[in-house]
Amino acid sequence: MTMLTPMIGELQQEGATTRRVLERVPADKLSWRPHPTSMSLGQLALHIAMVPGSLSQLSKLDEFDVSQATFHAKEAGSLEEILDAHDAGLRAAQDCVCGFDDSAAAANWRLTRSGQEIFAIPRAAMLRSLMLNHWYHHRGQLAVYLRMLEVTVPSIYGPSADENPFA
């Protein structure tokens, strides 16, 4: 057991919840966006699907230079693509997190821009903030998109206006 062992359970639990939300995405509305500056529904859903896998891979590095990244969200071609990306990303994240011992989890991970340090935090904190919290933030955003499209919003941490797992 390592300091990251609880994160494996969290990934499994939150992954199942996230998949339930992603399954509600209407395949015929992937290009819909609530505002011209917002991501489309398909972009947001695919981004959510990819966050755990992509950011867990970055956590394997000791440093990541954001000037080398492109932050353009890819358009999803289908709901199947979104769900496949979610499942693959979740497996990759679980494998990655399982691969860290306590020493690696506690080691500093650095975010830089063109060689200038933006911040340095323990790898475990990077996984918590950049992978998990980022994932939850966008999942909440997706729930709002679903509501705006009059799609039934699933229970996430308790009852939604549409579902009550306790009733």
Task: Give the per-residue pLDDT at 70.
Answer: 79
Alpha carbons 39 and 21: distance in angstroms, whole number: 17
Which string of DSSP letters, residue by residue, matches 132-146?
IIHHHHHHHHHHHHH
Per-domain residue ranges for the chain? 5-148
152 φ/ψ angles, rounded to the nearest 5 degrees? -60, 120
**CATH fold for domain 5-148:** Four Helix Bundle (Hemerythrin (Met), subunit A) (1.20.120)
Alpha carbons 18 and 32: distance in angstroms, whole number: 20
Q: In 10 A of CB 48, how many CB atoms?
A: 25
Residues 73 and 30 sit within 8 Å (Cβ to Cβ): no
Residues 121 and 107 sit within 8 Å (Cβ to Cβ): no
Q: Residue 68: is its pLDDT beyond 90?
A: no
pTM for this model (two decimals): 0.94
Over the chain, what is the mean pLDDT? 96
Alpha carbons 93 and 104: distance in angstroms, whole number: 15
pLDDT in tens, 140-163: 999 999 999 999 999 999 999 999
